[in-house]
Amino acid sequence: DTEVTQTPKHLVMGMTNKKSLKCEQHMGHRAMYWYKQKAKKPPELMFVYSYEKLSINESVPSRFSPECPNSSLLNLHLHALQPEDSALYLCASSQVGAMTQYFGPGTRLTVL
C-alpha cells in the first residue's frame, strides 16, 4: 500500500469555526509532513514530524495546530483561520531523512 489518504477532500469553514484535517498512511513511514499550496504556487512546508515528534515548524501561525497521535496518523487542527488561509493542504510521508515523499491528494480548504 503506497497510498496517503486525506479527509475531507473539501472543507468550507467560517473564521470562527474549529475543524481538523486528517491524514493516514500505512507504509511504515516515520516522517510525516503538512504542506500548504496556493493556486499556481509550489507547495510550502508547514510542519514535519519524525518518529511522532514535531521536528520542524516553519514559523506557522498558532491558528494551525498539528498533531501526530501515532505513526500512521497526522492531524491538522484549524481554529480562527483567515480567508488568506484558503489553499490546498497536502499531507506527505516518507522514511525519515528521505527526499522521496509520498503525497496525499490534499484537502481543498476555503475560509469564508
State residue 60 phi and psi, 5-degree precision.
-85, 140
Asked whether the beta carbons of 43 and 35 are under 8 A apart, the reply is: yes
Q: How many CA atoms lie within 13 A of 42 on its CB side?
A: 2
* Candidate ranges 12-20, 67-75, 79-87, 97-105; the one touching another protein (CB under 8 A): 97-105
Q: Determine, following the binding rule CB under 8 A, whether residue 100 of this chain makes contact with another protein.
A: yes
**Candidate list 12, 15, 54, 96; residue touching another protein; CB under 8 A:** 96
CA distance 25 to 3: 6
CA distance 6 to 83: 22
**Candidate list 54, 98, 110, 112; residue touching another protein; CB under 8 A:** 98
- Cell numbers 497526522 label which residue? 74
* Candidate ranges 14-22, 66-74, 76-84, 95-103; the one touching another protein (CB under 8 A): 95-103
Asked whether the beta carbons of 112 and 14 are under 8 A apart, the reply is: yes
Q: Determine, following the binding rule CB under 8 A, whether residue 15 of this chain makes contact with another protein.
A: no
Q: Determine, following the binding rule CB under 8 A, whether residue 67 of this chain makes contact with another protein.
A: no
Q: Which residues bind another protein (CB under 8 A)?
A: 4, 31, 33, 42-45, 48, 50, 55-56, 88, 90-92, 94, 96-106, 108
